Amino acid sequence: MADDRGIEDRLAIAKTICDSPPRVHPNAPNGAVWRTGWRCYEFIASQISPGDRTLETGTGVSTVMFTAWGCEHLSIVPSEFQANVIIAYCHEMDIATENLRFDLRPSETALPGLVGGPEFDLVFIDGAHGFPLPVIDWYYGAGLLRRGGVVVFDDVKLPAVRQLLESYLDRDDRWQMIGGTAVWRAYRRLSEGPLDSDELLQPFFQIGQTGGLGPIRRLLADVVPPALRERLRRS
């Protein structure tokens, strides 16, 4: 199935998978899969190329897409049942699985073990959504992104994700928002290496500043000269 001739092929593959998804999450309202909006998959399809190294927390139709698109893909999900459903579905759909790997541990346990290993081109954070798990997934997962790589968050309305984005990523010049809807959001990484960062490098991170002003602040920061910005910060 992975005869990739570009974005059109990738979208056709994604549509086939969405039209007839694997029954990987039988408790989902549709009886098959907890998936995100079509535009998120469309966006991810526009960001990857065959051979890219991709990582996701959780599994679902996204896993099948990364695999069918020819990515070297790692899905971290603590469910052998779900992994087996995805592999069986790939076989049924004639999707090669040599480049698909599962780590069957919770992401908060598995991800720290990847530190120091090869970098990724794209990381999709869509595993556990309770605080602080999306933050842990971002810290370790997006910490493995190459400079210029992309992190995509699903369920950005949920507090643990929203808090991270509004209080931190939206304000940090080391991340550039490059896409999203009310459901998901994507950022390009403009730095490299682990994401630990001294508080002196986080003047933008302040208590009481959440509430959706992040993108506006970033826009203003882009038009206000750095010297004036520094004066304003000190005043």
From 34, 131, 139, 204, residue interacting with ligand SAM (rule: CB under 6 A): 34
Q: Which of 180, 105, 175, 172 is nearest to 137 (CA)?
A: 105
The size of the interface with ligand SAM (CB under 6 A), counted in residues, is 22
CA distance 200 to 81: 45
CB of 176 to ligand SAM, least distance (A): 23
74 binds ligand SAM (CB under 6 A): no
Work out whether 33 is an interface residue with ligand SAM (CB under 6 A): yes
Which tokens sit at 38?
């079509």
CB of 97 to ligand SAM, least distance (A): 17
Of the candidate residues 1, 13, 44, 57, the single one contacting ligand SAM (CB under 6 A): 57
Closer residue to ligand SAM (CB): 127 or 214: 127
Residue in 52, 54, 68, 127 binding ligand SAM, rule: CB under 6 A: 127
- By CB under 6 A, the residues from 36 to 55 that bind ligand SAM are 36
Which position among 128, 145, 150, 169 is part of the footprint of ligand SAM (CB under 6 A)?
A: 128
Q: Which residues of 200-217 are buried (b: 16+ CB within 10 A; e: fewer)?
A: eeeebeeeeebeeebeee
- Cβ nearer to ligand SAM, comparing 12 with 220: 12
Long-range contacts of 202-208 (CB under 8 A, 24+ apart): 202/168, 202/172, 203/233, 204/168, 204/171, 204/172, 205/167, 205/168, 205/171, 205/172
